[in-house]
Amino acid sequence: MQPQNVLFLNNLAWAYYQAQDKRALETAERSYKLAPDTAAVADTLGWFLIQQGDFARGMGLLEGAAKVAPTIPEIRYHIAQGWIKKGDKSKARTELERALSINQNFSSRTEAQKLLKELGG
């Protein structure tokens, strides 16, 4: 009913992703084209791209999202995950520490704490 609703598209992309539906990336791309300066939208697309192996573009989007919204810990957590996939544990630790230093609860906080401990932080 609202094919141009960015929030709806971004949430739909996440729902597709959680259901392992191949439409997740396409939907995230559509959302990003409508609102490229929205941190949550860039975070979603960046995360999906990293999961599919497009590290350069995915990290670029995540870093851009972190600049727009530096106090959203989930973005930092996704950046850390990207660095882990790339094999850079030092950069991953730095991002996890940043995410956890933000005084907010976020959905992946427990996982971030566990991961930081595993990385020796």
Do both 44 and 77 map to the same domain? no
Do both 39 and 84 map to the same domain? no
Of 21, 42, 61, the residue at which a domain comes to its end is 61
CATH code of 90's domain? 1.20.58
Do both 55 and 92 map to the same domain? no
Q: What is the pLDDT of residues 27-73, one digit of tens each?
A: 999 999 999 999 999 999 999 999 999 999 999 999 999 999 999 99
Do both 55 and 109 map to the same domain? no
Question: For the range 76-82, what are the long-range contacts, defined as Cβ-Cβ under 8 Å and sequence gap of 24 or more?
Answer: 76/102, 77/106, 77/108, 77/111, 77/112, 78/43, 78/46, 78/47, 78/50, 80/112, 80/115, 81/47, 81/50, 82/46, 82/50, 82/55, 82/58
Do both 5 and 54 map to the same domain? yes
Q: What is the pLDDT of residue 62?
A: 98
Please check the confidence at residue 84 and state whether its pLDDT lies above 60: yes
Please check the confidence at residue 74 and state whether its pLDDT lies above 90: yes
Of 28, 61, 94, the residue at which a domain comes to its end is 61
Q: What is the pLDDT of residues 102-119, one digit of tens each?
A: 977 899 999 999 999 999
Number of independent structural domains in the chain: 2
Residue span of the structural domain in which 21 resides = 1-61
